[in-house]
Amino acid sequence: MTTFSTDEAAMARALELALRVPAAGPNPRVGCVLLRDGRVIGEGWHRGAGTAHAEVDALSGVDAVGATAVVTLEPCAHTGRTGPCARALIDAGVARVVIAVADPNPVAGGGAELLRAAGVEVVTGVGTAAVRRMLEPWLVAVGRGRPFVTLKLATTLDGRVAAADGSSRWITSPESRAHAHALRAEVDALLVGTGTALIDRPSLTARDADGALGPRQPLRVVLGDREAPLPEPGGDVVRVPGHDPATALAVLAAREVRHVLVEGGPTVSAAFLRAGLVDRVLAYVAPVLLGAGRSAVEDLGIATLVDGVRLRTEDVLRLGPDVLLIARAGDGEEED
């Protein structure tokens, strides 16, 4: 039987369990480990809307009296499609609960207080950084009331997304495109403007290495006033009239979209940047020079270098001949 000598080690296991859950969807990825004297007596994770939450899943068929529950996200304190997890832990006789991240949802939060009021020892802040990284899109979406926004750019070394004649396929390598398709499978929605939809006719689908559609397809969002049909098959299509990024995000928030991938083109990319509604930028850069052609981002209204949009580099990856730069806008922290 597996044993863990520290709360941190047990939380790492709870994180592994949470990562079994697909990243996309309205609910957070949560894992839970039940321990008695460091020995694992139960494990669980939340498999999706309407299914047992991680804590209840871990408690199934287990005598948890006096046990410790190690959970990635604060147990919920409200009744939705399922009952409150904090109450389930109390009723099961759990003596101690270790939590990585507090729940920012004003409807579901408060589980730690409920546990303490029932005499359960509550320890917080264990393994917080790693769990926050996993939950970031959900935490930001719930905390800010709008989806987490990742802006994707695929450019030449001199920042072009198309040559002077308009040709744009393919700037980046198969390795970069495979990485981008894997990312598409992890988000709830893909967003483009009508210009990109009309000129490039993107499918906006998540495909595997053989080009086959993945089992789950993101929502496809077109922002703008012109008719711009998207190829089929693919995910459902949402059309948002006008050119306001905030309006688009409000529409998506109402559909419980937590993470949207903005795939451009330059007009839409600039609109989201000007509005301050980009949380993360993924820039796929190919070692190609064109010297002319369309820039990745249209005019941001910036006249001097000191006013430039400054991002914080988080990581740099090599993808075949290309480089992927992952950068943050602002401080990169979610709001509680």
308-323 in b/e form (b: 16+ CB < 10 A) is: eeebeeeeeeebeebb
User: In the structure encoding, which two tokens stand for residue 100, read together?
Assistant: 């990585």
Residue type, 77: A
Q: Are 194 and 224 in contact (CB under 8 A)?
A: yes
The single residue listed with the structure tokens 């006013």 is 307
Local structure of 221: helix, strand or coil: strand
Active site (annotated) includes residue 55: yes
Which residue out of 43, 55, 74, 263 is catalytically annotated? 55
Q: Backbone phi, then psi, for 151, in 5-degree steps? A: -100, 125
Task: Provide DSSP, 161-204.
Answer: SS-TTS--TTSS-HHHHHHHHHHHTTSSEEEEEHHHHHHH----
- What 3-state DSSP class applies to 214? coil
- Rounded Cα gap, residues 62 and 25, in angstroms: 29
Record the tokens describing residue 78, joined without a space: 């409200």
Q: In this structure, what token pair is assigned to residue 279?
A: 């949380």
Q: Are 319 and 284 in contact (CB under 8 A)?
A: yes
Quote the CA–CA distance of 159 and 161 in Å, as a whole number. 7
CB 197 within 8 A of CB 223: no
Token reading at 85: 């997890």
Crossing angle of helices 7-18 and 128-144, in 10° steps, is 50
Residues recognised as catalytic: 55
